[in-house]
Structure 1
Amino acid sequence: MESLPSPFYPVLAAGVAACVAYLFYLAVLEPQWNPLRRLPGPPVRSFFGNHMGFVLDPSRSPRVHEAFVKHYGRNLRIRGFLPWDQRLFTLDPVSLAHILKHSTTYEKPWQSRALISSLIGVGMLAAEGHMHKRQRRVSTPAFSVQNMRALVPVTFQKGVELRDRWLALIAEVRSGAEAGTQGARLDVCHWVSRATFDVIGLAGFDYEFNAIHDESNELFAAYKEMFEIAVSQQGGGLWELAIVYAPILDRFAPGPRYGVVKKSQEVIKRVAGRLIQEKKRKIEEAEKAGSIYGGKDLLSALLRSNAAADLPPDQRISDEDILHNINTFMFAGSDTSSLSVTWILYLLSVYPDVQTRLRAELLSIAPTVPLESLTQDEIASLYTKIAELPYLENVIRETLRLIPPVHSSIRVATQDDVVPTSTPVKLSTPDGEYEEADSFLMPKGSCVHVPIEAFNLDREVWGPDGWQFKPDRWDNLPEAVKAQPGLYNNILTFSAGPRSCIGVKFSIIEIKMFMFILVTNFKFAECDKVGKANVVLTRPYIMGKHREGSQCPLLVIPYTPETPA
């Protein structure tokens, strides 16, 4: 006797049919109906073809971006990683300013937020809407000019420690090398990263990693491993892409990434969580004694701001949110600053005339006494002079323009929106013709590719030499630059609008102080050809040795006034 068909089979068949129908809609029908199809854009060569490899690879993206504008205009359509992923690519300053200004209409997509929050929690990088506004409001006082200036001695101290560590390493190399050896081959990317971790540890929550001298600290190792394994060493393959769109896969088939992140987060929650409770106790004890706790680190400022009497209770953030934001400061404040300093030193090695001129300017305000003998007031006075140096400012601006640590970003429209344009855009019509318009429809659910590097390098704006390293350009900028959006000097390196970088002042202080100490004490020469790779951030790699990981080796030679600059 034949068995009756299980009632499960029709349900399963219906489910499979529904999934197939939905995928057919996403892959075939929805892209045809997407209003972005009216924008011009480059073709794809296959059903699963996309343009992301072209626009994300810094070794070719400047040429790609320029070709896009030449052939399709400043607002165009590109395809993301999946067939239904139609994206707006814009190099129109009016369009982009509109998108970055309306941060509640254009949010980070859930995939980006999921990746960020899986690592560092829902801090300001991952939060959206009211949660982001609340966190930003509480955090803003911590980043005031006064608080940032109070952290100058911390950066100075770590800059001097890095100088001394390099001098010791060079002395070791000299003692075991042939006579006449002047310097040593040092991976400045590695060493500057250790120094910036030390700075953000002290500046962030008054915690000494001591990473310049030793990498064994438990909390330092937890942050470093999590950022290295989960972010810097992403292969960009199908499995990494699948995890971004379906994070649950990481739990069902956990690889090295999942284990490292889980272990690191346990350490961070335990150690950093204890630091938060200790800070809260000190603040409460000071209040009971009728005084104000004088901690100058960001955590102390954050806790004081969060407990302010004029802050309504419903606007305060939880201890968990505070921990997430400390993690955010660690992530955003260590890697981006270290990469900025690394790229400046590399460019100075490639352009020795710029290095010599910069050193002369820095030496013109150098104290006549040893740096380690300076008092805190003298350090503050020295930084005031450093901050006003015009050529140093130009070199930093030009490096941040030419090699922004964040190559590009992405936003998703949370509702239909009309995007204005600076010049008319050609839109296709149902009858196969074209019409010009001063705006276009951005449909809900579609993404915007924000090409940060492309805005910074746009030769129609910055001039024919826009791809070249020329610090003097900042003394006489083209008029078109003034129309560019950007928090910092009309470049997008620190983004723009309500989601712009809250730590920009601290980053500039750190970069300038490190440059003063390092360039007045060392000469830098190129010893390997270094290229750029976009691995979440724009990192240096030795050309042809990408598998060896991110590194930027330079010949570092102690500078003394007796030797030629």
Structure 2
Amino acid sequence: MPSTILRVVFSVVFVAATPLLGVGFYYVFIAPRFNPLRKLAGPPVRWLFDNHLSFLLNPYRSPKAHATFVRKYGRHVRIRGLGPWDDRLLPLDPVSVAHVLKNSMVYEKPWQSRRLITSLIGCGMLAAEGVVHKRQRRVATPAFSIQNLRSFVPVVFTKGNELREKWCEMVDSSGNTSEGVKIDVCHWISRATFDVIGLAGFDYHFNAIQNESDELFHAYKEMFEIAVSQSNGLRTVIGIYIPLFNVIFPDERVQTIKRCQEVIERVAGKLIQQKKARILGGEESGLGYAGKDLLDLLIQSNLATDLPPDQRISDADILHNINTFMFAGSDTTSLALTWTLYLLAKHPEVQRRLRAELLEAAPATPVSRLTSEETESLYNVLSNLPYLNDVVRESLRLIPPVHSSLRVATRDDEIPTSYPVRLLDGTISDQKSIRIAKGTFVHVPIEAFNLDKEIWGEDAWDFNPDRWGTLPEAVSALPGLFSNLLTFSAGPRSCIGMRFSMIETKTFLCLLLTNFVFSETDSEIFKANVVLTRPYVTGQFKAGSQCPLLVERYA
């Protein structure tokens, strides 16, 4: 009897599994043969499930890989993704990339990327696509107007000055004023940018520069650093494709994310309701509400009488976008600042030149005594300093916090080209476009465009702010929201907070470089692409992002 039952069960499983295996076989081995990308030249694979992602996603290897691919296969390269079913286009042609980024309704973030982002910070502007993204962007855009962003300048100066004072205390208390004290600038700048985005984002005092005890700060910090940077690649992939796996077998990372999200929903969700009540109360009383942080502006924009009800976003969407502002406004900006200080420590002559320019522009009155109007005026001066602008642009070019991006075609399309297309048989085609099938991934190589030697010159991999005085003509053809760089992306999905990031970066550099001298330690720093391009100390990867520099007072 037991053997009969087993045979029946086996037969049922076999009958049920056969169609699934057939479908899987078709998509893995048959369908890829009809992919038009198969006609393009590209690097070979060594075995069935080999891929090229380790070459393209590792900042240590990617510059050489991109240069090699261009030399061997041209500027439209067929690469292998996760398996034989995953042929991707790697476009290194500015016209092709501009087309992909401009047509955001055709080329969206893949559902896999959206699911990963949503599982962390919800479906805000970073994860939303189509009409949902357009609706969220429309509601949020007024909050990022130039006039509103200028009102945040005093907040940035206050927190930058607070960080300066904290570092002064650390240097003075070390007793080693001649050689300076070792400070993990990545850690401290992250605390400062959290403070800034907390106040500018929703008028919340993290007070992270002074201590790290705030409950909401801990939740965001763990979410962005521990849960993300210490993730297990295989488990993450399994969790994306089979979400139930993390429910049944939650590891420490999953449990951390869940705990953090509960705190964020409770504390930040309460803030949203309080602000919404104040705004509605102000409208009813006729007195109005004078809140000017991003959350206030977002809610006010969402409640505007000229906005049709079907164009408004939910309270949950508002929370998700606050999470997005926290991630983008703290993590990416702090990394951009960290990498800039690291590059200045490696190039002391550039650091001296920039300090001289900043000192000449600095007011005689201490920053802590300036009025709001005076700090806004000072930032206007900083924003127009030529060498500061060149240093910031060069740092963002050389080490973009976002290494690359992935898009998927939602329909068949023709991507225009401006370079000859090399085919698999070794011939060069004179075709003016590449046919893309629905469902095909397009790998947008942000770093590759920023470091392309054929475009920027043979010294493209070097830190040289002076290059911005005489740029090669080819640079003008590059797409990009900021200075022909893809660092802030381009098109309808370009970074909405770019101007705010510039305010933070230039203000902090002014306050820190006019008070401190930065130099390298004996620790070897390397880049790793862990969601963002982060600094790590060699041999201490498990300790998380670190960038220790020697910091001494500038006399």
Q: Does TM-score exceed 0.5, indicating one fold?
A: yes
CA contact (8 A) 1:424 1:439 kept: no
Tell me the amino acid that sits aligned with residue 480 of structure 2: G
Which residue is 2:261 aligned to?
A: 265
Per-residue CA deviation, residues 265-297 of structure 1 (Å, 9 max, x unaligned), is 111011001101111122122223323322121
The partner residue of 1:219 within 216, 219, 226 is 216
Question: What SS does the corresponding residue of 2:419 show, helix, strand or coil?
Answer: strand
Alignment pair present for 1:187 and 2:216: no
Alignment pair present for 1:136 and 2:132: no
Alignment pair present for 1:437 and 2:431: yes
Tell me the amino acid that sits aligned with residue 361 of structure 2: I
| 28-37 or 59-68, which deviates more | 28-37
Question: What SS does the corresponding residue of 1:353 show, helix, strand or coil?
Answer: helix
Which residue is 2:53 aligned to?
A: 52
CA contact (8 A) 1:122 1:321 kept: yes
Which residue is 2:165 aligned to?
A: 164
- Looking at structure 2, the residues matched to 3 and 538 of structure 1 have their Cα atoms a distance apart, in angstroms, of 58
Which residue is 1:563 aligned to?
A: none
Question: What SS does the corresponding residue of 2:430 show, helix, strand or coil?
Answer: strand
Which residue is 2:463 aligned to?
A: 469
Alignment pair present for 1:384 and 2:380: yes
Per-residue CA deviation, residues 423-463 of structure 1 (Å, 9 max, x unaligned), is 2313458xx97643111111111101110000100010001
Alignment pair present for 1:333 and 2:333: no
Per-residue CA deviation, residues 146-201 of structure 1 (Å, 9 max, x unaligned), is 01101001111100110011111112211xx5xx6442100000000000000000
Count of residue correspondences = 553
Which residue is 1:481 aligned to?
A: 475
Inter-CA distance 434–360: structure 2 relative to 1 (3 Å threshold): closer
- Looking at structure 1, the residues matched to 165 and 481 of structure 2 have their Cα atoms a distance apart, in angstroms, of 35
Which residue is 1:303 aligned to?
A: 299
Which residue is 1:490 aligned to?
A: 484
Superposed counterparts of 1:28-177, under 5 Å: 28-174=29-175
Question: What SS does the corresponding residue of 2:83 show, helix, strand or coil?
Answer: coil
Which residue is 2:203 aligned to?
A: 206
Superposed counterparts of 1:384-533, under 5 Å: 384-428=380-424, 435-527=429-521, 528-533=523-528
- How many Å apart are 1:30 and its aligned residue? 2.0
CA contact (8 A) 1:426 1:436 kept: no
Tell me the amino acid that sits aligned with residue 196 of structure 2: V
Question: What SS does the corresponding residue of 1:332 show, helix, strand or coil?
Answer: helix
Question: What SS does the corresponding residue of 1:99 show, helix, strand or coil?
Answer: helix
Tell me the amino acid that sits aligned with residue 301 of structure 1: L
| 1-10 or 203-212, which deviates more | 1-10
CA contact (8 A) 2:225 2:544 kept: no
- How many Å apart are 1:4 and its aligned residue? 7.1
Tell me the amino acid that sits aligned with residue 397 of structure 1: R
Which residue is 2:360 aligned to?
A: 364
Tell me the amino acid that sits aligned with residue 520 of structure 2: E
Per-residue CA deviation, residues 506-545 of structure 1 (Å, 9 max, x unaligned), is 0001101100100111000011221111101000112343
- Looking at structure 2, the residues matched to 531 and 312 of structure 1 have their Cα atoms a distance apart, in angstroms, of 50
- How many Å apart are 1:397 and its aligned residue? 0.3
Which residue is 2:536 aligned to?
A: 541
Which residue is 1:251 aligned to?
A: 247
Question: What SS does the corresponding residue of 1:422 show, helix, strand or coil?
Answer: coil
Tell me the amino acid that sits aligned with residue 200 of structure 2: A
Tell me the amino acid that sits aligned with residue 205 of structure 1: F
Question: What SS does the corresponding residue of 2:250 show, helix, strand or coil?
Answer: coil
- Looking at structure 2, the residues matched to 67 and 345 of structure 1 have their Cα atoms a distance apart, in angstroms, of 30
- Looking at structure 1, the residues matched to 18 and 445 of structure 2 have their Cα atoms a distance apart, in angstroms, of 39
Tell me the amino acid that sits aligned with residue 220 of structure 1: F
| 66-75 or 239-248, which deviates more | 239-248
Which residue is 2:227 aligned to?
A: 230
Question: What SS does the corresponding residue of 1:492 show, helix, strand or coil?
Answer: coil
Question: What SS does the corresponding residue of 1:295 show, helix, strand or coil?
Answer: coil
Inter-CA distance 522–6: structure 2 relative to 1 (3 Å threshold): same
- Looking at structure 1, the residues matched to 427 and 378 of structure 2 have their Cα atoms a distance apart, in angstroms, of 64
Tell me the amino acid that sits aligned with residue 192 of structure 1: I
- Looking at structure 1, the residues matched to 461 and 353 of structure 2 have their Cα atoms a distance apart, in angstroms, of 21
- Looking at structure 2, the residues matched to 313 and 384 of structure 1 have their Cα atoms a distance apart, in angstroms, of 39
Per-residue CA deviation, residues 47-98 of structure 1 (Å, 9 max, x unaligned), is 1110000001101110000000000000010001222111000111111100
Tell me the amino acid that sits aligned with residue 514 of structure 1: F
Inter-CA distance 5–555: structure 2 relative to 1 (3 Å threshold): closer
- Looking at structure 2, the residues matched to 492 and 434 of structure 1 have their Cα atoms a distance apart, in angstroms, of 28
- How many Å apart are 1:3 and its aligned residue? 4.7
Tell me the amino acid that sits aligned with residue 17 of structure 1: T
TM-score, normalised relative to structure 2? 0.97
- Looking at structure 2, the residues matched to 472 and 33 of structure 1 have their Cα atoms a distance apart, in angstroms, of 48
Per-residue CA deviation, residues 444-486 of structure 1 (Å, 9 max, x unaligned), is 1110111000010001000111111110111111110000010
- How many Å apart are 1:257 and its aligned residue? 1.2
Tell me the amino acid that sits aligned with residue 538 of structure 1: T
CA contact (8 A) 2:409 2:437 kept: yes
CA contact (8 A) 1:540 1:550 kept: yes
Q: CA RMSD in A?
A: 1.6
| 446-455 or 75-84, which deviates more | 75-84
- Looking at structure 2, the residues matched to 5 and 298 of structure 1 have their Cα atoms a distance apart, in angstroms, of 63
- Looking at structure 2, the residues matched to 146 and 193 of structure 1 have their Cα atoms a distance apart, in angstroms, of 26
**5+ long unaligned stretches in structure 2:** none
- How many Å apart are 1:6 and its aligned residue? 6.9
- Looking at structure 1, the residues matched to 445 and 419 of structure 2 have their Cα atoms a distance apart, in angstroms, of 19
CA contact (8 A) 1:283 1:292 kept: yes
- Looking at structure 1, the residues matched to 429 and 418 of structure 2 have their Cα atoms a distance apart, in angstroms, of 16
- How many Å apart are 1:547 and its aligned residue? 3.0
CA contact (8 A) 1:421 1:439 kept: yes
The partner residue of 1:553 within 520, 537, 548 is 548
- How many Å apart are 1:365 and its aligned residue? 1.3
CA contact (8 A) 1:427 1:436 kept: no
Inter-CA distance 396–3: structure 2 relative to 1 (3 Å threshold): closer
Inter-CA distance 433–154: structure 2 relative to 1 (3 Å threshold): closer
CA contact (8 A) 2:226 2:544 kept: no
